[in-house]
Structure 1
Amino acid sequence: MTLRSTFVSAGALAAALLAATPAFAAGTTAGSSINNTATLNYSVGGVAQTAVSSNTATFVVDRKISMTLTEPGNATTSVSPGAVNQVTTFLLTNTSNAALDFGLALAQPAGGTAAHGGTDNFDVTVPTFWINTGPSVGSATYDPANSTPVTYIDELAADATKYIFVLATVPITRVSGDVAGVTLTAQARASGTAGTQGAVVTETAGANTAAMDTVFADAAGATDAARDGQISARDDYTVSAATLTITKTSKVISDPQNGTTNPKLIPGAVVEYCIQVANAAGGATAQAPSVSDVVPAQTTYDATFGIKLNGTVTAGVCNADGTTGGTYTAGTTTVSGTLSDVAAGATRTLYFRATIN
């Protein structure tokens, strides 16, 4: 009798099974069962006999927990004092071999070097987490019209990504150069029920079990350690403010006795008031600054000359290059006007004339 046997290798069978399983970067989906059956072929007296199959060897693929959290763009968020809904952006990628929920937490350091330089010296207020929805799903740009607030990331599939937008308010008292650092942490949680945050995932202790075990494989984040089931990343807000000064000067233009030649400040003299609005270098542009000034009771506003806006200054002296605009309110004897935007290092003026009573 001749005995001849052929075995189908476990590796070949596993490869065939994997070919029918979705391929994820982190490997076969956690909880999958991998089944393996061997086949024995033989002959007796040169006659092929009925093949014999082995029992089926089965094991369950364990869950590997890993994820990344990055800050797209790698730049600070420039903000103005008092600004609301200021955005920092993070990108969460689930590199696990299973869908997961992710709890979200934001920390603000007390001092120290911020993510993009400078020293953290204040905290933003009322921070909230948002994700884009509808047509803006997957966009790296926050879309207020298509977004929703969240407290955790729900049912993030293996290999899937989610942009997380942190919105916060900047205190009105902050000045140029102030920096607020923020640290976002995403904590791996069990998935399963959409709309419900799962429990914090824990790593399986001890030897491998027949069930789906859990292994932490995440790298260290900005403030967390490797293999701790969470990931963190840092970003910051840097204040860019306009630093405005306002200066008012006056000069005599003419008087009834001397005209415009060496005029003196006597009754009937015409006085020109100039209000200078200057923005210090290195700050943000001051947009549409509005100026108001009450004409002194001892003088009468010169309606014929009117109000001139957006003039320039040379060596601290106003130039007569403004354009007519502004408003005079007789009831309150108030001169007012809105200037053009004042860029850093620039000066704009409002000037008018009055006659001494």
Structure 2
Amino acid sequence: MTSKLKLLVATSAVTAAMLGANPAFAAGTTAGDAITNNVTVNYQVGGVAQTAETDSDTFTVDRKLDLTVSEANGAAQSVTPGQTAGAPNPAFLTYTVTNDSNDVVDFELTAAQQTTGTATPFSGTDDFDVTGLLIFVESGATPGYQPAEDTATFIDELAEDANATVYVVGDIPLGLATGDAAGITLTAAIKQGDTGGSLGGDYTVNATNTEDGTVNAANIDNVFVNSSASDTDNFVISAANVSVVKSSAVLWDPVNGSSNPKSIPGAVIEYCIAVTNATGSATATSVNISDDISTLDLSFYATAPAAGPATIPAANGVRSALACDGTGTNADASGLGESGGVISGNLGDVAAGATETLLFRATVD
């Protein structure tokens, strides 16, 4: 028997039709799916149509393993010195892991600090490390990172073409300045996804293995496009830059009154505590002042002497920006108080570029 391979052209007496439900190449088709291609050959002998010849071929789609990792925000995540991984204001970065494989797979997740001095993706160079790095996967119960809900540490059984949100959380050290940055790289590695509830094992390239290491009946080969992928995001510090200046002025004494008064016993001294937050800084919140005069030869001045200056009311001891020259107007204060010789006051929030002042008076013993 002689076997010949012929190229069929339009003038041939024999025609062939390839008839199949699926195309011969199916990008994205799920691993393990069978693709069957049917062929029918019609021909004649002496001008008489003969019984058509048919055949088919079936192959199993192999497993393409691929993924994408990307940071999710397109900008650095602003944090403050001392911010932690815990509630109510956790410090975290957000990433997206996409399963570009044609099968359900697991993903192992790891996070690494950038090297000091390395350029971060969005703001300057890396100059500090986050402590206590942890990785959690979005549960879907409540959108956004929720420490009590998002507790999974690997991606389990992610469907093909699906994605998962991953959070890298940690503690931000104290003592950092505005603009300091820390880059964190998240890496996801593909693992077998045959069994839910636990991280699968490794796939072997071009091997027909399942999670238990045995050959599978479907004869599916494993082909890595990428076995792992990573992306980097960074924290950037937004800190308050607070400074304080304390000054005093003699307002009155029992000999000279308010005309060129001296700091003699019985004199009234006004103290001004000015708190400034530098321009470009984060707002300083809950700014509280405590000034202890209990061990000094001073007494808190709550009642004006008969010929002395007016008393500063206890509920109005805060003045607005740069009032320490005595020309400012008293602001609505949350309270100037004294207990046991300790003067206290709450300036509330001090915005970037602002100065807030606390005034109180004392008499010289």
Instruction: Normalising by structure 1, report the TM-score.
Output: 0.82
Retained in 1: the 8 A contact 2:288–2:348? Answer: no
Aligned match of 1:226: none
Aligned match of 1:99: 104
Q: Distance in 1 between matches of 2:327 and 2:293?
A: 21
AA aligned opposite 1:125: T
Residue 303 in 1 paired to residue 302 in 2? yes
Residue number among 129, 136, 145 corresponding to 1:130 in the alignment: 136
CA deviation after TM superposition for structure 1 residue 46, in Å = 7.9
Change (3 A) 1:94 1:354: same
Aligned match of 1:312: 321
CA deviation after TM superposition for structure 1 residue 82, in Å = 0.5
Q: Distance in 2 between matches of 1:127 and 1:319?
A: 52
CA deviation after TM superposition for structure 1 residue 176, in Å = 1.9
Q: Which structure: greater helix fraction?
A: 1
Q: What fraction of aligned residue pairs are identical, expressed as a percent?
A: 41
AA aligned opposite 2:200: G
CA deviation after TM superposition for structure 1 residue 101, in Å = 0.7
Change (3 A) 1:257 1:325: farther
Retained in 1: the 8 A contact 2:319–2:328? Answer: no
Q: Distance in 2 between matches of 1:153 and 1:325?
A: 50
Q: Distance in 1 between matches of 2:199 and 2:147?
A: 25
Aligned match of 1:36: 37
Q: Distance in 1 between matches of 2:93 and 2:141?
A: 21
More off after superposition, 112-121 vs 297-306: 297-306
Residue 27 in 1 paired to residue 28 in 2? yes
Retained in 1: the 8 A contact 2:191–2:202? Answer: yes
SS where residue 259 of structure 2 aligns? coil
Can you give the 5+ residue segments of structure 1 that lack an aligned partner in the other structure?
219-228
Change (3 A) 1:341 1:82: same
AA aligned opposite 2:30: T
Aligned match of 2:197: 195
Instruction: Normalising by structure 2, report the TM-score.
Output: 0.81
More off after superposition, 121-130 vs 233-242: 121-130
Retained in 2: the 8 A contact 1:311–1:318? Answer: no
CA deviation after TM superposition for structure 1 residue 265, in Å = 0.8
AA aligned opposite 2:346: T
Aligned match of 2:346: 338
Aligned match of 1:215: 223
Show CA shifts across 1:296-353 (max 9, x none): 5312211242441243216x636442335424343x2111111121112211111111
AA aligned opposite 1:67: L
Aligned match of 1:62: 62
Aligned match of 1:74: 74
Q: Distance in 1 between matches of 2:109 and 2:147?
A: 23
SS where residue 287 of structure 1 aligns? strand
Residue 250 in 1 paired to residue 252 in 2? no
Retained in 2: the 8 A contact 1:278–1:348? Answer: yes
Change (3 A) 1:145 1:117: closer
Aligned match of 2:228: 230
Q: Distance in 2 between matches of 1:155 and 1:325?
A: 55
Change (3 A) 1:318 1:239: farther
Retained in 1: the 8 A contact 2:92–2:168? Answer: yes
SS where residue 22 of structure 2 aligns? helix
Residue number among 239, 257, 260 corresponding to 1:259 in the alignment: 257
Retained in 1: the 8 A contact 2:37–2:58? Answer: yes
Retained in 1: the 8 A contact 2:137–2:154? Answer: no
Aligned match of 1:294: 292
CA deviation after TM superposition for structure 1 residue 165, in Å = 1.5
Change (3 A) 1:149 1:201: same
